[in-house]
A and B are shown apart, each in its own frame.
Chain A
Amino acid sequence: MFEEGSIISQLLVERLNYFIYVVLLLIGLWAMIAKNNLIKKLIGMSIFQTAIILFYVSIGVKEGATIPIYLPEHDPHGSHASAEHNDTTASGPQVLEASKVSGYTNPLPHVLMLTAIVVGVATLGLALSICLRIYRGYGTVEEDDLLLKLEQEDSQNSGGFKKRRPRRRPSSAKAASGATRAASSEKSKSEKTGQGNRRSRSKSPAKKSQSSPASEGKKPARRRPRSKKPKEGDS
């Protein structure tokens, strides 16, 4: 089963690094998609990016090679500078011949991955602060709870636009203007208050239709004192 060239051998012996990174990649991807908790998703994202970093680093491995810092005998600037390297007067690094290069590992994948790590850290930091914002705004970092709250909020903001019309001015053509004003006050209110109201509203999802006109009912009454019609369904 483990002979040369068989699938198992290729996977686990010859191309072990690819196998490992693929496994890690899929674990990360699965976590990002399947996990319910936002923080766990971010951990999955981190694992995902780490897998790619491991892949890059692994392709730069060379057997029997040393770190990419000039060995003393190749050093063009030091006391062992040989006569071959005549362009020592030029500033900047020198180009070694191919035979001398084979003893060093390739620094480029590491350099690239330093950049990628920085990008990953920045992404993680940003995503964590977004998580914090979500927690402060909605009180949860569980995805299903969050989606529920977002749905309620969306239906209040846009579906509520239509529902307002019969409540405000049931019998006149000014229904549209009343709806516009009511919905605009509702929307600007929701934009401004944001966090506080969210929590109180989210605690009573089924009673949203009653609670909103209660809070809304006071506003139009203040603005239009001449309105004599009693508001329906008011508490």
Chain B
Amino acid sequence: MSDPIVWIILFPLFGAVLCALAGPWSKTICYPVSVLSMVASVWASAKTLLQAIEASTHEVSYILGGWSLDLFPRGVGIEFRADILGGLITLVVTGVGLIVTLYSRLPVQRETPGKESMYYGLFLLQIAGLAGIALTGDAFNLYVLIEVAALTGYGLIALGSNRAAAATFNYVILGTIGASFYLLGVGYLYLKTGTLNMVGIREVIEANQMYDSPAMQVAFVLILLGILIKMAFFPFHAWLPNAYCHAPTSTSCLLAPLVTKVMIYVMIRMILTVFGVEFTFESTLWTEVMPWLVVVAIVCAAVMALAQREIKRMLAYLIVAEVGYMVGGVWIYNYYGLIGSIFHVISDACMTLCLFLGAGIILEKCKTTHFDGLRGLFARMPLTMIGFFIGGFSIIGLPPTCGFFSKWYLITGGMVSERWEYMVTLMFSTMVMVILFFRLIERMHLAVSESGQNLGKGHGDLGLTERQTRFDEAPLSMLIPLLLAASVVLIVGVYNQDIVDQIEIFLQPFDLPTGVHYE
């Protein structure tokens, strides 16, 4: 197979069609088909990434329909272009998709019985859409794939309870606004440059020195606004807590780690590949404003996460805060910040996956994720708690989890650009996250009620029945993906240098400032 890049999307696509068509006859076929197509997709994306790393230009390119690249700036066909960044993100998307597919057998049976074929069809299409976003090299095709991912996401959430359907409506409205603004921006780009190919757009901008053109400025603003809405950047985040909290378990496990991170990838792609570093950072005033917006975003999201009394809503607000980290890492405009941002996309996907998988197991076993129902979980489900808290420690930033390394690069970036407001906000939000997760540990571990009254009879008695404290671990089909995700968090942390090396190779052609160094 010489072009695994297309197969990354085709395997889930065929799997989705198979699930949707054959599912109504045989419910049990959906799960194996999904797992197989995801395994094939992971294999294809690993091959593509290796191809991209070994290629001389560090990218793999595939024009759909076989159009030649010589026509017009970079061709008239839709190009699928996997450079190292795209390859990494695709691998993350398909890998997370595989883990959630493995995990999803029981939750889908419990929460959406009888709808498995629809569910898995939408599930696989969602992964195909997200992978396509990471792979495409065409601005309009990106809109189409954003909408594919969004629509399937709406469907996946609305398949749950009525409350989920009510939450989806808000998501539909806001998501459509965001994608439509993006489309409008692409329209302006097409108007001025005449091409839709991402690299081609930049070539035309640079050839004609369009940096001061008002149309380009408007295009940039519209695209940025659309992407910020879709990535739930404060204050456009209002759709996220309700949508992810009330969604079925495996839906939130799939959407939460991936959707917002892929949108951040889109923002990075727009900035670096389409508009170019010079246009974005030096011709616009956004570099001055965005870090302050980021500060507000992180602080508000962290404080709102503190106010929550339920694990899934707390995690949803944590996602909003992490989005703030990544946006900040990009807009402080330097080399290390961007390395930190890209690495944080990868590591945040892994650690959010860990947390949501754990929250799903807690929901399954304890029937609630409210803080009051969590006592004694360490004795009851020690392995689940280890997996969950590896994700938690990664969010706090304790070594050797991957969260520490991404924070390291972000702090380095903040220091190099002398963005002290960003650094102080990082420290503040780290402290808030310490409080959040150790509060959870306290709830599970201590025999104290929230108001400070001792429960139980002392000496470690938690005031629970024997049935609630005996060892009752999660079912294996849910536990193994969680432990897999936790080990990925640790592996990405320990092997962070290999990933960062590749990110640095990707960032070489863009002239990002690396800061002044004393001697």
B-contacting residues of A (Cβ < 8 Å)? 25, 29, 32, 38, 41, 45, 48-49, 52, 55-56, 59, 95, 108-109, 112, 115-116, 119, 122-123, 126-127, 129-131, 133-134, 136-138, 146, 150, 153-154, 158, 161-162, 173-174, 176-177, 179-180, 183-184, 187-188, 191, 194-195, 198
Contacts and interface: CB of A to CB of B under 8 A. Distances in A.
B497 interface: no
Interface string B338-381: 00000000000000000000000000001110101101000000
Given A150-B166, A173-B456, A180 B366 contact: yes
A80 B184 CA distance: 41
Contact of A123 (B166, B176, B367): B176
B154 interface: yes
Given A48-B177, A52-B184, A174-B465, A59 B368 contact: no
5 contacts: A59-B191, A123-B147, A136-B162, A137-B162, A194-B162
Given A137-B162, A161-B373, A123 B366 contact: no
Given A115-B140, A180-B366, A41 B163 contact: no
A137 B372 contact: no
B17 interface: no
A58 to B, nearest CB: 10
A112 B176 contact: no
Nearest to B144: A115
Given A29-B177, A45-B176, A59-B191, A176 B162 contact: no
Interface string B160-171: 011101101100
A113 to B, nearest CB: 10
B161, B196, B370, B468 — which one has the most chain A CB atoms within 10 A of its CB? B370
B180 interface: yes
Given A131-B169, A177-B468, A183-B368, A123 B161 contact: no
Interface of B: 71, 111, 140, 143-144, 147, 151, 154-155, 158, 161-163, 165-166, 168-169, 172-173, 176-177, 180, 183-184, 187, 190-191, 196, 309-310, 366-368, 370, 372-373, 375, 455-457, 463-465, 468
Contacts of A56: 187
- Nearest 7 pairs between A and B by C-beta? A137-B162, A184-B367, A133-B165, A173-B463, A119-B147, A177-B465, A127-B172
A161 B373 CA distance: 9
A15 to B, nearest CB: 11
A183 B373 contact: yes
Contact of B183 (A52, A131, A174): A52
Given A109-B190, A112-B190, A126-B172, 18 more contacts: A25-B184, A48-B176, A52-B183, A55-B184, A59-B187, A122-B147, A123-B172, A126-B154, A127-B154, A127-B173, A129-B158, A130-B158, A130-B168, A138-B162, A146-B166, A158-B310, A177-B465, A184-B373
Contacts of A184: 366-368, 373
A198 B162 contact: yes
A153 B468 contact: no
A196 B8 CA distance: 44
B172 A130 contact: yes
Given A126-B172, A130-B169, A176-B463, A162 B372 contact: yes
Given A130-B154, A130-B168, A134-B165, A49 B180 contact: yes
